[in-house]
Chain A
């Protein structure tokens, strides 16, 4: 049933315009049966968090290729918490060097996919790890 579908917000935070990855992942998630909402480009953390809450999503997926991931990922997580929406999981990917991963996971990011990740890896991970935030 449609209302049982997990809802994922795919977002492009910051000034980075590289949306190839975000769009390909969004289409793959949609084809895998999830409900996908795409924010469009150049979103601030405030805009993303407010879309996540308004759209009542189960997870937020961020794509960052501009090197600003160390600010943007933790900021989205912090602002979700401030809105009492910590049950919305945050995952994502982009040009993110290996040495930044521990800090990102520490800040509460559920999963980072680095270059070379396959679409099936991503959709499988979402299926296994994202649970509905409804009815809590």
Chain B
């Protein structure tokens, strides 16, 4: 090692020095998108303490740095899962069928804002928003339409839903019942990660503490009745979209995960009953190696946390399985076809990072929801990576790279520093109440925007290589008629159902919410009787109160 050091020093002092004198490098400082400093060269000297078994392990083996599965993509490709939903349940059902016909291997539901915020389409607060950012779901009937002709025992479905997650999960189970599918055969994920809502995505309804109770109720219910369901997808995606660095995304996500595990244990659940069903969700942004290192570090940190801190015994509890979405915030409205290339690089990073499933953004997503054509290109991007590029032929191909292993170590250390700070604050729920992660993210996003303005960070088409007078591209337009149609729809359902039954079930739900009974069976009764999402959320609003954000900048 000392020979190597000498040799390197000699190279620096002679050959390199001469070159730099003649021709300086392009920049004084090289850094990642997140401002992590990158050295000129990484060598064996950076990995002096490297220990293969301790730091990497073989695939499917603790600490899972190389991947959670023994054969990774040689055994099974990642699930290609495009986030889709717009207009009415009927419109979105058609898109789901189209995507499945095109070779997509899993479903991912985007709900419109009123559903996400717990309002029915006929609520005054829903005005102008119905069907705009996703599909409108008010009652079980909409959910039946959404999954019409899709056998729930055969697909896996991910639902991006948080504050009302228990209700959409109950609706999904009720559709399965109607299809005659055994709940034990159902596979899928509810995002159900309320902590990152307070940090980043900001789609909350109730305050943090009662929200955590809804989550633990669902974890307990699913572990008994729907064992194949991933009850939470602990999400860094939105934290990154809100402007965090890669390290902040990783650290805050894992700190959220720690808070859920602690909450589960506190309610008396054995860690190994629910931890194997926790899944994660990361962003894949533009900086190729930083993203790969982040994903590798994520697996290693989580394995250590689960084994050492929470004393989990089941290896499945140690495994961090995750979905990835390419970075929506990296896309540009200018020269939108360039977004296909950005998405390709980001998708490739996610595959190198060992993701279990992947959403690739469409090129038009800075303008509107994707059209059928652009969604197809996004899916084809994954299929080309999987079938043509050759990268899926071996496992964790970048392992052992001086650079990748160093960066993985550095990101792990920086994330652990953050996790320690959050622990010192009393955990993530307290940190959120103090506004710590929110401020950190806000500062990073402002700093980044200033770097873009000063051209310290380059965005092609925005602050370099600009084209004037571009031709607009065709985009998807959700007609205003959708709103009227859906309002009539929900009013019809509400007038046709057995009102006494709905009222009784809502009352029973209220007692459960006030007490300590698990709310899931009561929510199921409500949705089966066509009680609406808004009505159920109103019960919880009544009992738990509503959350409002602090108005700091």
Bound CA–CA A106/B329 (angstroms): 30
* A116 and B462 contacting across the interface, CB-CB below 8 Å: yes
In the bound complex, how far is the Cα of B128 from the Cα of A35, in angstroms? 30
Instruction: Name which residue of chain A comes closest to B551, CB basis.
Output: A40
A124 to B527, alpha carbons, bound, how many Å? 52
Q: By CB atoms of chain B within 10 A, which of A17, A18, A23 has the most?
A: A17
Interface residues on A, range: 35 or more
**Cβ of B127 and Cβ of A20 under 8 Å apart?**
no
Q: Is B149 an interface residue (CB 8 A)?
A: no
Instruction: Give, as a whole number of angstroms, the nearest-CB distance from A132 to chain B.
Output: 23
Q: Does A72 contact B (CB under 8 A)?
A: yes
Say yes or no: B449 contacts A16, CB within 8 Å.
Answer: no
B553/A20 in contact, CB under 8 A: no
- The contact of A67 among B116, B445, B478, by CB within 8 Å, is B478
The range of chain B's interface size is 35 or more
The verdict on A130 contacting chain B, using a C-beta distance below 8 Å, is no
Contact between A98 and B472, CB atoms less than 8 A apart: yes
B32 interfacial by beta-carbon distance below 8 Å: no
- The stretch among A24-32, A54-62, A77-85 that forms the contact with chain B is A24-32
Q: Indicate whether A15 reaches chain B with its CB closer than 8 angstroms.
A: yes
**Is B203 interfacial (CB-CB < 8 Å)?**
yes
In the complex, chain A residues whose CB is within 8 Å of the CB of B133:
16, 66-67
Chain A: which residue is nearest B204 at the CB level? A17
The CA of A24 and the CA of B449, in the complex, are separated in Å by: 8
Alpha-carbon distance A19/B243, docked complex (angstroms):
10
At the interface, is chain B mostly helix, strand, loop or mixed? loop
A-B residue pair count with CB separations less than 8 angstroms:
109
Return B443 CB to nearest CB of chain A, in Å: 9
Interface contact B549-A67, CB-CB below 8 Å: no
Check if A118 sits within 8 Å of B129, measured CB to CB: no
Are A115 and B366 interface neighbours, CB within 8 A? yes
Q: Does B543 count as interface, using CB distance less than 8 angstroms?
A: no
Check if A20 sits within 8 Å of B453, measured CB to CB. no
> Inside 8 A of B125's CB, which chain A residues have their CB?
15, 44
Chain A minimum-CB-distance residue to B463 = A118
In the complex, the answer to whether A70 meets B553 with C-beta atoms within 8 Å is no
With both chains docked as a complex, state the minimum distance between the C-beta of A114 and any C-beta of chain B, in angstroms: 6
Q: Chain A contacts of B241 at CB under 8 A?
A: 18, 20
- Which residues of the other chain, B, contact A119 by a CB distance below 8 angstroms? 449-450, 453
Does the CB pair A116–B549 fall under 8 Å? no
**Residues B445 and A23 in contact, CB atoms below 8 Å apart:** yes
- CB of A41 within 8 A of chain B? yes
User: Distance in Å from the Cβ of A129 to the closest Cβ of chain B?
Assistant: 20
Closest B residue to A73 using CB positions: B128
**Interface presence of B293 (CB below 8 A):** no
Given A68-B128, A116-B334: A97 in contact with B368 (beta carbons within 8 A): yes
* 0 or 1 for each of B169-202: is its CB under 8 Å from A? (1 = yes): 0000000000000000000000000000100011
Is B251 an interface position by the 8 A CB rule?
no
- On whether A20 and B243 interact (CB within 8 A), knowing A15-B116, A40-B550, A119-B449, the answer reads yes
Given contacts A36-B553, A68-B129, A115-B366, 5 further A-B contacts (CB under 8 A): A20-B329, A24-B445, A67-B132, A68-B127, A116-B334
Q: Which 3 A-B pairs have the closest CB atoms?
A: A71-B128, A17-B202, A67-B132
Task: List 22 A–B pairs whose Cβ atoms lie within 8 Å, in order of A's numbering.
Answer: A14-B128, A15-B114, A17-B197, A18-B202, A19-B242, A20-B243, A24-B449, A28-B446, A38-B551, A38-B553, A40-B548, A41-B548, A42-B117, A66-B129, A67-B369, A70-B480, A71-B129, A97-B368, A115-B332, A115-B333, A116-B461, A119-B449
